[in-house]
Amino acid sequence: MAALTFAAAASIAQTTATNWTASDCNGLSHTLFNELDSGKVIVFAWVMPCTSCVGPSKAAYDAVQSFATSNPGKVRFYLADDLGDATCTSLTNWVTTNSIGSTANMKIFGNAGKVIDEDDFGGTGMPHIIVMGGATHTIHFNKKNSSSNDPSGITAAINAAIGSTSVAGVESRVTFSISPNPVTNTLKVTSAEPVSSIQVMRLDGALVKEYNFPAGALNPMSDCSSLPVGTYMVRVTGKKGATAIQKFTKL
């Protein structure tokens, strides 16, 4: 195994999406990575809902709609309750009452059980807007609170995300699985291509372990025995530079 670098509580930005599967308020199931892998760009808003959430959510919705003619069906707007304690009816009414946009042009998630966990995307803040695209599941925009009200930034991120859905981007996708999960001691990464690095992070994005493999490694392992009990994320980077993230539980 190549050299191990251990870093405690080193902060890194959340730039790669974490997968989730959840049903929207119409009962339709969505898996994030399937959406991104099919070439879609997802603009996602977490709301409480609250008064301060109105402006940024509308800005994000309007940015998505500005691509409806040039890229029909490609850019989609998702909106979810942050803690999963708002009903679909209350969320839909909030969207309509505050003229956020047409509910027919968005997917609304009650998010019961916090299946779509905001902590997996860099922590909490209301509202929280992200733009994701490409087979590398890249986050192109990730802002919270008042700074999320950034129409030009969201539009630029959508353009960047559309560019990342090219054939070249699809070909560079890294795929991997982890086992066992939950893990007690050693976490194995099974990869479809040589891996150049593994990063183990807390849910707040803090880096706790990093393994680098300059020559590339197939099916590398991470020693998790010293980690406190809890939920973590593992980011895997392939030799071609593509990355992906999965969650795991340490017992």
CB 161 within 8 A of CB 64: no
- Average of per-residue pLDDT across 45-68: 95
Class of CATH domain 21-170: alpha beta
CA dist 52 and 126 (Å) reads 8
Q: What pLDDT does 50 receive?
A: 92
**pLDDT tier at 207, thresholds 50, 70, 90:** confident
CA dist 101 and 121 (Å) reads 24
Residues in the chain: 251
The CATH 3.40.30.10 domain(s) of the chain lie at: 21-170
Query: Which stretch of DSSP H or E encloses residue 160?
Result: helix 151-163
Q: What pLDDT does 11 receive?
A: 32
CA dist 125 and 106 (Å) reads 21
Nearest Cα neighbor of 202 from 92, 119, 106 is: 119
The CATH 2.60.40.3080 domain(s) of the chain lie at: 174-250
Residue 202 has pLDDT above 90, yes or no: no
Burial of 70 (0-12, 13-18, 19+ CB in 10 A): exposed
Is the whole-model pTM more than 0.85?
no
CA dist 141 and 153 (Å) reads 7
Question: Using one digit for the tens of pLDDT, what is the confidence trace for 99-140?
Answer: 999 999 999 999 999 999 999 998 899 999 999 998 789 999
- Average of per-residue pLDDT across 213-236: 91
CB 57 within 8 A of CB 147: no
Matching CATH number, 174-250, of 2.170.16.10, 3.50.50.60, 2.60.40.3080, 3.40.50.300: 2.60.40.3080
Question: Using one digit for the tens of pLDDT, what is the confidence trace for 159-168?
Answer: 988 887 654 4
